[in-house]
Amino acid sequence: MPKLSVIIPVFNEKNTIKEILKKIEAVALPLEKEVVIVDDGSTDGTREILEGLPADKYKIYFQGKNQGKGAALRRGFREATGDIIIIQDADLEYEPAEYGKLIKPIMDGKAEVVYGSRLIGSEARRVLYFWHYLANKFLTTMANVLSNLNLSDMETGYKVFSRQVLDKILPHLISDRFGFEPEITMLVGKNKFRVYEVGITYAGRTYEEGKKIGWKDGLAAFWHIIRFGLRR
∠ CA 132-124-120, rounded to 5°: 65
Q: What is the mean pLDDT of residues 72-82?
A: 97
Q: What is the mean pLDDT of residues 210-218?
A: 63
Count the alpha carbons within 13 Å of 170 in the hemisphere toward its beta carbon.
17
The answer, yes or no, to whether residue 211 has pLDDT greater than 60, is no
Could you tell me which CATH class the domain 3-229 is placed in? alpha beta
For 179, phi and psi rounded to 5 degrees? -65, -10
Structure confidence at residue 213 (pLDDT): 64
Question: Please, which pLDDT band fits residue 214 given cuts at 50, 70 and 90?
Answer: low
The answer, yes or no, to whether residue 95 has pLDDT greater than 80, is yes
CA distance 143 to 138: 9
Structure confidence at residue 196 (pLDDT): 98
pTM: 0.89
The answer, yes or no, to whether residue 150 has pLDDT greater than 80, is yes
The answer, yes or no, to whether residue 124 has pLDDT greater than 70, is no
Q: What is the mean pLDDT of residues 8-35?
A: 96
The answer, yes or no, to whether residue 193 has pLDDT greater than 70, is yes
Q: What is the mean pLDDT of residues 173-180?
A: 89
CA distance 180 to 146: 16
The answer, yes or no, to whether residue 209 has pLDDT greater than 60, is no
DSSP state of 80: -
